[in-house]
A and B are shown apart, each in its own frame.
Chain A
């Protein structure tokens, strides 16, 4: 590696590109993870058998470091002969991770709706889906939404780990620049500020929301 050099405009573009990739990855994983989580949470709530079948998957996802999940999935698909680009392997692992945590929140939300209300809805002649749509889901959403926002913030931060399988998101881009220039503090404070600006307002919003919903 050549001698240290200062930061240049192209370096800033490199960081911005990384920031864009962080947002892209987070958005994709939020989308797929939430869909997976709602389906999984609903299945776990409505069928004991499903809950029992997916329990090991949930348990392992929660007890093994995410960084290892990335490496394991990446090497597994290479062995299986279907290597994917880092964006898609990152999205798949993060979505699965988000899905598991979302399903826990969704399940808790569904359980928070009193069974009497559900039965009352059904006895008014509503079908299963009508009752779900107009009674259970809106009530569950009040419990689920603040926690779900917390999960999205966590996901934004966790996307920083996809660097280990070669996806050059913001933090990986920062690390590459640190190795090349001598500006570790400036680069890291900049990257930190980016995450903070995204996460802090959302977390404040979720706190206010939670307080409002409790009243």
Chain B
């Protein structure tokens, strides 16, 4: 085709490198989601107390995370903190920035979930003698996660795709490893096509697991 000969063998030889990159990608996607969900719960709860300082700080976090590019957030974590004398690895910068980003989006998702639970449930739980922490962890959050399961899984797709931004600051996640591997042979198209296929497969595996969880544990949920 086009008088260009495709060299797939070159790519085949570098597959172990790409696989290592894929593992870094998966790690960052999973950890950034776990950290993101934890932070998002705190943000969403803080936001319920309208007018308080915590609520305002939470709003600022959420709006900044949602209204600036994720790549800019990664740059801020990497170059910005570096300029302040705090040098963190590219791994930590990407993980931190994507967790920050996830937290902003997830907090909005959870807010919708919190709103779907009627006030009487809070009152009932309190009247049973539960303190606020127990009300949230035993009564409210399990229902919120059930209602928001799909949007949360959707966000984890975005987390997976966003890890590819690590390439720009030299992190060898799947995209970065691909970029590095192709830089010796300049078989850019072949390498990135294989990387694209790997992302596709990872995305489908995550969606498959999500469907399994939903079918097994959340039957009857939305």
Contacts and interface: CB of A to CB of B under 8 A. Distances in A.
Interface of A: 60, 62-69, 71-72, 75-76, 79-81, 153, 157-158, 160-161, 163-164, 171, 174-175, 178, 182-185, 188, 191-192, 195-196, 199-200, 203
A183 B160 CA distance: 31
Interface residues of B, number: 38
B79 A178 contact: yes
A75 B82 contact: no
B75 interface: yes
Contact of B189 (A63, A64, A76, A200): A76
A81 B72 CA distance: 33
A160 B83 contact: no
Nearest to B190: A75
A160 B199 contact: no
Q: Summarize B's interface: helix, strand, loop or mixed.
A: helix
B188 A192 contact: no
Q: Summarize A's interface: helix, strand, loop or mixed.
A: helix
Given A63-B203, A81-B3, A196-B67, 9 more contacts: A64-B200, A65-B161, A65-B199, A157-B67, A158-B69, A195-B67, A195-B69, A196-B64, A199-B68
Nearest to B168: A164
Nearest to B72: A192
6 contacts: A60-B200, A68-B192, A72-B193, A175-B75, A185-B76, A188-B75
Interface string B16-41: 00000000000000000000000000
Contacts of B151: none
A182 B63 CA distance: 28
A185 B75 CA distance: 9
Nearest to A198: B67
A199 B67 contact: yes
Given A67-B165, A79-B2, A157 B199 contact: no
B4 A79 contact: yes
B128 interface: no
A184 B71 CA distance: 14
B139 interface: no
Contacts of A188: 72, 75-76, 79-80
A72 B72 contact: no
